[in-house]
Amino acid sequence: MNTVGVEVGNSNIKIGIFAGKRLKDVFLSPTEDIKRLDIPVTLKKIGPVFTVIASVVPVINNLLKKKFASISKDIFFITPFDCGLPLKVKNPKGVGVDRVLNCKAAINLFNSDVVVVDIGTAITVDYASQKGFMGGVIIPGPSLWRVSLTTTGMIKDIKETEARIPGKDTSEAIECGIRYGLPGAINSIVYAYKKKYPSAKVILTGGWSKRFSRYVEFDCLKRYLTLEGLGMVLYERCEKSGNKM
């Protein structure tokens, strides 16, 4: 069976093509341009596919379903409760499915308890073990950090520039804050986790992960960890139903 996993984040839609539970190929499209999203030619050529979607932007779910209806014989959306990982938090319904998929994939890949650092629109630093998804920390990501400062009275025009301490103008000063402040925050959070869970593997993922990989502490970089988790959930479902991927 041809299978496709779609991860809908605040910034990007990631479309993954799977062979079994192995991620073969990834296509990216901006979430804000959902109306102009084109189905990759590769998918049109392989014929009808089975599509599973993990979305943290529910307002576009119906439109997304229509987009994939042309190539999919079956489409379904998964929630955090579908990931096969117990949710050991106060409000399970409020957990982003991407965070649970990240932890699902990391545990399966490393057979260990894990700390998953996902650097995207927001930065999440989550802990999980075989007992389940135990919770995490959320702080603003690079884009939110930059945009949030434009609401202040004296800061209007922020340009992306090289971060050199000390910053010689407002844009450089803000870029220094992002370059040094975010890794400092992440490393501090990871340090706190490691004091409590010394055996945990630290996995780095997300759209900004490669850019920040030089500055944060981690054991392994997996940029498309959420999609890998999606593939694992899909594979397990197909196995239980007797269908082969």
Dist. CA 31–CA 126, nearest whole Å: 24
Dist. CA 43–CA 99, nearest whole Å: 27
The reported pLDDT for the residue numbered 200 is: 97
DSSP 180: I
Q: What is the dihedral of CA 96, 92, 101, 39, to 10 degrees?
A: -50
Lookup: tokens for 98? 């991407």
| 3-77 shares its CATH topology with 86-226 | yes
The reported pLDDT for the residue numbered 204 is: 98
pTM (2 d.p.): 0.90
Domain boundaries in the chain? 3-77, 86-226
Please answer whether residues 98 and 56 qualify as being in contact, where contact means their C-beta atoms are separated by less than 8 angstroms.
yes
The reported pLDDT for the residue numbered 48 is: 66
Dist. CA 131–CA 93, nearest whole Å: 18
- Specify whether domain 3-77 bears CATH 3.40.50.720: no
The reported pLDDT for the residue numbered 224 is: 95
The reported pLDDT for the residue numbered 153 is: 55
The reported pLDDT for the residue numbered 244 is: 59
CB-based contacts of 236, cutoff 8 Å, min separation 6? 84
The reported pLDDT for the residue numbered 164 is: 76
DSSP 46: S
Lookup: tokens for 197? 């869970």
Alpha helices in 70-181 (DSSP H): 97-110, 142-148, 170-176
Phi, psi of 169 (to 5 degrees): -150, 180
**The CATH number of the domain covering residues in 86-226:** 3.30.420.40
Residue of 142, 125, 143 whose CA lies nearest to 134: 125
pLDDT in tens, the chain (245 residues): 678 899 999 889 999 988 877 898 899 999 988 888 888 787 777 766 788 999 999 999 999 998 888 888 788 899 999 999 999 999 999 999 999 999 999 999 999 999 999 999 999 999 999 999 999 999 999 988 887 777 665 566 666 666 778 888 878 888 888 889 999 999 999 999 999 999 999 999 999 999 999 999 999 999 999 999 999 988 887 777 666 55
